[in-house]
Homo-oligomer: A and B are copies of this chain.
Amino acid sequence: MRIAIDAMGGDHAPQAAVEGAVSAAREWADITVILVGDTDRLQPLLQGNKPANLELRHASETIEADDEPVKAVRRKKDASMVVAGRMVKEKEADAMISAGNTGALMTTGLLVVGRIPGIERPALAPMLPTTDGEGILALDLGANMDATANQLVQYAIMGSLYRSKVHGLHEPRVGLLNVGTEAMKGNEVAKAAFPLLEQAPIRFVGNVESRDVLRKPCDVVVCDGFAGNIMLKSMEGTASVIFSALKEEFTRTWYTKLAAAIVKKGLGQFRKKLDYTEHGAAPLLGIDGLVLKSHGSSNALAFKNAVRQARLALKNDLVGSISTEIRNGSEL
Question: Which A residues form the contact surface with B (CB < 8 A)?
Answer: 131, 142, 145-146, 177, 179, 186-188, 190, 209-215, 224-227, 229-243, 245-246, 249-250, 252, 255-256, 258-260, 262-263, 266-267, 270, 274
CB pair A237 B259 closer than 8 Å: no
Report which of B142, B234, B262 forms a contact with A213, defined as CB distance below 8 A.
B234
Report which of B186, B212, B232 forms a contact with A226, defined as CB distance below 8 A.
B186
Residues of chain B with a CB closer than 8 A to A267's CB: 245-246, 249
**A187-B145, A256-B263 known; A211 and B236 CB under 8 Å?**
yes
A145 closest partner in B (C-beta): B187
Q: How far is A236 from B236 in the complex, measured between Cα atoms in Å?
A: 12
- What's the least CB distance linking A254 to chain B, in Å? 10
**A213-B237, A235-B234 known; A262 and B256 CB under 8 Å?**
yes
Residues of chain B with a CB closer than 8 A to A246's CB: 246, 267
CB pair B262 A237 closer than 8 Å: no
Report which of B227, B235, B238, B239 forms a contact with A227, defined as CB distance below 8 A.
B227
Q: How far is A249 from B259 in the complex, measured between Cα atoms in Å?
A: 12
CB pair B250 A263 closer than 8 Å: yes
Residues of chain B with a CB closer than 8 A to A236's CB: 211
CB pair B240 A242 closer than 8 Å: no
A241 closest partner in B (C-beta): B214
Q: How far is A267 from B186 in the complex, measured between Cα atoms in Å?
A: 35
**A187-B224, A231-B234, A234-B234 known; A245 and B270 CB under 8 Å?**
yes
Other A-B contacts than A145-B186, A177-B230, A215-B237, 19 sampled, CB-CB below 8 A, are A131-B241, A131-B245, A142-B179, A210-B229, A210-B233, A210-B237, A213-B234, A213-B237, A214-B237, A227-B230, A230-B234, A234-B238, A241-B274, A242-B270, A249-B263, A250-B263, A256-B263, A259-B259, A259-B262
**A179-B142, A179-B229 known; A263 and B270 CB under 8 Å?**
no
A233 closest partner in B (C-beta): B211
- What's the least CB distance linking A180 to chain B, in Å? 8
CB pair B227 A211 closer than 8 Å: no
Pick from A245, A263, A266 the residue with the most CB of B within 10 Å.
A263
Pick from A186, A215, A227 the residue with the most CB of B within 10 Å.
A227
- What's the least CB distance linking A238 to chain B, in Å? 4
A229 closest partner in B (C-beta): B179
Residues of chain B with a CB closer than 8 A to A242's CB: 238-239, 242-243, 270, 274
Pick from A226, A232, A243, A274 the residue with the most CB of B within 10 Å.
A226
**A226-B179, A233-B211 known; A259 and B270 CB under 8 Å?**
no
Pick from A177, A225, A235 the residue with the most CB of B within 10 Å.
A235
